[in-house]
Amino acid sequence: MSIKPRVQSPRSDTGNLIRDSALGLVPETLPHYLQLTVAIWDKGPLTPAEIELARLRNAGHVGCVMCQAVRYDIAVEDGLSEEVVSSMRAEDGGLTARQQSIVRFVDHYLHNPSKPDPELQTALDEQLSEVEQVHLALLMAYFNGFSRCAVALGGMPDSMPRMEISVPR
């Protein structure tokens, strides 16, 4: 990936990762983006650790280096460990049935966004309520869209160290 961005970030240093990114060039959209971010992390039925698991799985598919390096503090506080992240990446069976269902849904969503096959749907129904399934689908649309935006705008380094940040408010 090129580390030269196609779009330069605004020359601001607000301390807010989003406001200081290229998204800050369109400031009238930021309040809505930030409201949606808060709603996804704080208002839905999935836990922060489950949301982060889905977000990281998406980041691996999209190739967003920054998204792969970031861990949201509320997900870590909720119990998402690097052991779980490694199990998700290796698919070595170290995940709970619920976590496996989330990962399988993310893979399905990203590769074939159609109705899940009966086996996956049964697993989802056993592990997640209908409301949780809707929340998962909505957060995948959100995470996938914004991580693709980040990659498409360029400026992504080849690698980044793991970092813990707070959900943008």
pLDDT category at 23 given cuts 50, 70, 90 is: confident
- CB of 127 closer than 8 Å to CB of 97: yes
CA 16 to each of CA 70, 136, 162, 166: distance values in angstroms, whole numbers, following the listed order? 14, 25, 18, 10
140 and 106 Cβ atoms separated by less than 8 Å: yes
Q: Please determine, for residue 1, whether its predicted confidence score (pLDDT) is greater than 50.
A: no
Reading the block at residue 110, the tokens are 């990203």
pLDDT at 60: 93
Q: What is the pTM of this model?
A: 0.88
pLDDT tens-place string over residues 46-102 = 999 999 999 999 999 999 888 999 999 999 999 999 999 998 887 667 899 999 999
Give the list of residues 6+ apart from residue 21 with CB closer than 8 angstroms, or none. Answer: 9, 150
Domains identified in the chain and CATH numbers: 33-165 (1.20.1290.10)
